Structure 1
Amino acid sequence: MATYKVSRSVVIDAPAADIFDILAAPHQHPEFDGSATVREQIEGPQRLGPGERFGMQMRAGLPYRITNRVVEFQENRLLTWRHWGTHRWRWELEPVAGGTRVTETFDYSYAFSFLYQLAGWPARNARSIEQTLVRLKTLAEGRGRPHA
């Protein structure tokens, strides 16, 4: 099977632990979501850990709810979740000169890959990831960072 992924990176002038704390807090996801689809956390923990489930109120045209499960977790380094459709959102954090390189990857190779391409989702996901990384950078560097 071919692998279908959309991935973007940014260097953020903040320690990996601070960035990871934002990513691992589902109630903060609407604050950095660049797709404008994530509305609010409706169930789950305040901070994610291995195997944790969390539900989000979403809106893409119509409102809906989605439940995600953490499938990869390495404190301050890696966080991946997926929903019923098996698509994965993966966050990798790597210390570099000047801060932390954060890479977000949307992996849609697990199901419906052909339909995703046909519908133009890879390009939309790329734009959303780019906006997400801008918003995450702003939060993590302290400009408007919420208090958990």
Structure 2
Amino acid sequence: MAEQMVSVTREIKASPEVIFDLLADPARHADFDGSGMLQQVRGDSGRLELDSKFGMDMKMGPLPYRISSKVVEFDEGTLIAWAHRGKHRWRYELESIDGGAATKVTETFDWSTAVIPKAIELAGYPKKHPVAMEATLERLAALVEK
């Protein structure tokens, strides 16, 4: 349901493999998070694949909390998405362009699978998240572009 998804796309001058390696490493997620909420990975989760579980230390304003996520969509080099208890998803889709010299990266916040989608809407996340998603893709580009 497209009406329960918001996406941001950016061209990044790096190969899909390089970008995907960062996305598949939860220890690096705080490095490119544009929301400022991710603090660090909890435990040693290793490289992500379908059904992998990983935990993150988070912070919303002054309030710290923890969250556990599971990889729910996965196609090596092109697609990775994870969801946590609320079942809404964070998805990254990568498309090679310029013969692999660059990648079209689309980040999507998808609450069509959420346990209580109306709560997400009432909290205003669909309108707030695109700004953080743009910052995330900007930070991701800064990490991988030569």
Does TM, normalized by the shorter one, top 0.5? Answer: yes
Alignment of 1:19-34 (within 5 A): 19-34=19-34
Q: What SS does the corresponding residue of 2:57 show, helix, strand or coil?
A: strand
Number of residue pairs aligned between Structure 1 and Structure 2 = 142
SS at match of 1:28: helix
Alignment match, 2:78: 77
Q: Partner of 1:76: helix, strand, or coil?
A: coil
Q: Aligned to 1:106, which of 69, 86, 109? A: 109
Q: How big is the shift at 1:71?
A: 0.8
Query: Mind listing any 5+ residue stretches in structure 1 that lack a counterpart?
Result: 143-148
Secondary structure of the corresponding residue to residue 67 of structure 1: strand
Cα distance in 2 between the residues matched to 1:23 and 1:124? 22
Counterpart of 2:12 in structure 1 is 12
User: 1:31 and 1:8 mapped to 2: Cα distance?
Assistant: 18
Aligned 8 A contact 1:44 1:53 in 2: no
- Map 1:1-148 → 2, pairs under 5 A: 3-61=3-61, 62-97=63-98, 99-111=102-114, 112-142=116-146
What do the CA deviations read for 1:73-122 (whole angstroms, capped 9, x no partner)? 11110001000100100000001125100000010122322222222211
For 2:86 and 2:14, locate their aligned partners in 1 and report how far apart those are by CA, in whole Å. 33
Instruction: Report the CA distance shift for 1:91/1:2 in structure 2 as closer, same or farther (over 3 A).
Output: closer
Q: Percent identity?
A: 46
C-alpha deviation, 1:124, in angstroms: 1.1
**TM, length-normalised to structure 2:** 0.91
Point out 4+ residue stretches in structure 1 off by more than 3 angstroms. none
Q: Classify the secondary structure of the residue corresponding to 2:64.
A: strand
Determine the C-alpha separation between the residues in 1 that align with 2:9 and 2:2. 22
- Cα RMSD (Å): 1.5
Change (3 A) 1:40 1:114: same
Deviates further, 29-38 or 44-53: 44-53
Give unpaired runs (5+ residues) of structure 2: none
Q: Structure 1 residues 84 and 11, CA, compared in 2 at 3 Å: closer, same or farther?
A: same
